[in-house]
Amino acid sequence: MTEKISGGAFKQMVAFGAACITREKQAINDLNVFPVPDGDTGTNMSMTIGNALPELKAAGDGISAGDAAKLTASAMLRGARGNSGVILSLIFRGLSKGLAGQAEADAKMLSDAFKLGVDAAYKSVMKPTEGTILTVVREAWENTKDSAQEGGDAAEFLAKFIEEGEKSLANTPELLPALKKAGVVDAGGKGLLVILS
């Protein structure tokens, strides 16, 4: 059976992603050298996604994927902290737009929704810099979009998306001299993959 993501599954994924980034936030803070080494990327991303949890909890289990995505995105946008939090909330806003009105999401819907997230994130930054969370989410989408079939397995697509994101993240120091100099990968990109994993 092809796996689609239901509203209940979307809620669980957000809760799990929030728990993961909360656990890893100090490690992500330690990677934070760009645009300023203020060591708060993990904290900001953790607080941003954490905003969605009370609303999702209150929503009950019969919620559709589209409504769960919408609740998540609006709570994250309202409570976004720092650049990384704003970009993260916009990626989720794209997911919310792409899944609007859907009870469940298949691979193609998820891929199309990520494309909207990529576009929204790039538009939000006046001078997009490659080698950041923007590159990671864009390359993950570009390298998986052709494999996303209508009716395709959403969980399989997400696993591929994360795998491609990891490759992109590993390459961020080659694109951004500040990262190479510090010997780290991009903090925001790492945070995103921790949440999606």
Is the pLDDT at 193 greater than 60? The verdict is yes
User: Is the CB of residue 102 less than 8 Å from the CB of residue 65?
Assistant: yes
Over residues 92-146, the pLDDT tens digits come to 999 999 999 999 999 999 999 999 999 999 999 889 999 999 999 999 999 999 9
**Does residue 36 register a pLDDT over 80?**
no
- Which H or E run includes 145? none
pLDDT of residue 39: 86
Listed in sequence order, the residues at least 6 apart from 155 whose beta carbon sits closer than 8 Å to its beta carbon are 3, 5
CA distances for 95 relative to 92, 112, 139, 143, 184, angstroms: 5, 8, 16, 18, 28
pLDDT band for 2, please (50, 70, 90 cuts).
low
> For the whole prediction, is pTM greater than 0.85?
yes
Q: Are 120 and 94 in contact (CB under 8 A)?
A: yes
